[in-house]
Amino acid sequence: MNTYSLLKNKMPPSIKKAWIIKDLITFFVSIIVIEAVGFLANHFWHSTWINQSVIILISIATLITLFSLISIPYRYFFHRYEINQTEVAIQTGFFFRKTTYIPLIRIQHIETSQGPILRFVHLTELSIHTAANTHSLSGLDIKIAADLRTQILELVEVIREDV
C-alpha cells in the first residue's frame, strides 16, 4: 500500500474555527436564499411542489453543511505546507489530495491579505504569485505569514543572484 507523504508544517489550529464560521455563514445564506426564492415562487405560482422543493433544498444544504463540519478535523490534518531551498510546497485535500510545488525561481511577488473571518480569528492569507497562477496559504498566524514572506523573498533573491 502506498502512503501519501505529508509535508511537515501544519496550519494553526485556529483555522478550524475559521472554517466552522465560513461553513455556518454559507449555510445560513443558503437557507435565506432558498426561503426567499421559495416564497417568491409560491407567491406567483401557488404550488405544493414549490414547498416540497424548498424542504428538499434545505435538507440538502443541511447535509452538505454537516458533512463539511464533520470533515474539518480531516481537512486540517492534510492542510500543510513546507519551504525548502528550491521550492514552496502546499498540500490540501483529504479525499482528493493535492500537493503543489512552486519553484522559488518562478515566484514574482507575495501578498498577505485578511478577510473578516480570518481577521476575527487573528489569521491571514499568504498569496504567492507566479506568471501562471496564484497559490494561497490561507489561515496562517500573522507573524508566521510575515516570517514566511521574508524567508521566501530572501530565498528567491539568493536563487536569482546565482542564475
Of 149, 67, 155, residue with least CA distance to 106: 155
- Distance, CA of 81 to CA of 89 (rounded, Å): 5
Mean of the per-residue pLDDT values for the chain? 91
Q: For residue 46, name the pLDDT band (cuts at 50, 70, 90).
A: confident
- Distance, CA of 128 to CA of 140 (rounded, Å): 13
Which has the higher per-residue pLDDT, 23 or 3?
Answer: 23
The whole domain housing 43 covers 10-74
CATH number at residue 130: 2.30.29.30
Tell me the pLDDT tens digit for each residue of 105-143.
999 999 999 999 999 999 999 999 999 899 999 999 999
Of 26, 12, 4, 48, residue with least CA distance to 125: 12
pLDDT at residue 150 greater than cutoff 60: yes
pLDDT score recorded for residue 103? 93
**Phi then psi dihedrals of residue 58, to 5 deg:** -65, -40
The pTM assigned to this predicted structure is: 0.85
pLDDT at residue 161 greater than cutoff 90: no
Q: Are residues 113 and 62 in the same domain?
A: no
pLDDT score recorded for residue 4? 72
pLDDT score recorded for residue 1? 43
Residue 18 maps to a domain: yes
Q: At residue 104, what is the residue type?
A: L
**Domain total of the chain:** 2
Mean pLDDT for the stretch of residues 39-55:
83
Q: Which residue has the cell 463539511?
A: 68
Residue 61 maps to a domain: yes
Q: Are residues 45 and 69 in the same domain?
A: yes
Tell me the pLDDT tens digit for each residue of 61-82.
999 999 999 999 999 999 999 9
Of 35, 53, 74, which closes a domain? Answer: 74
Q: What percent of the chain has pLDDT over 90?
A: 76
pLDDT score recorded for residue 24? 97
pLDDT score recorded for residue 137? 93
Q: Are residues 83 and 158 in the same domain?
A: yes
DSSP 89: E
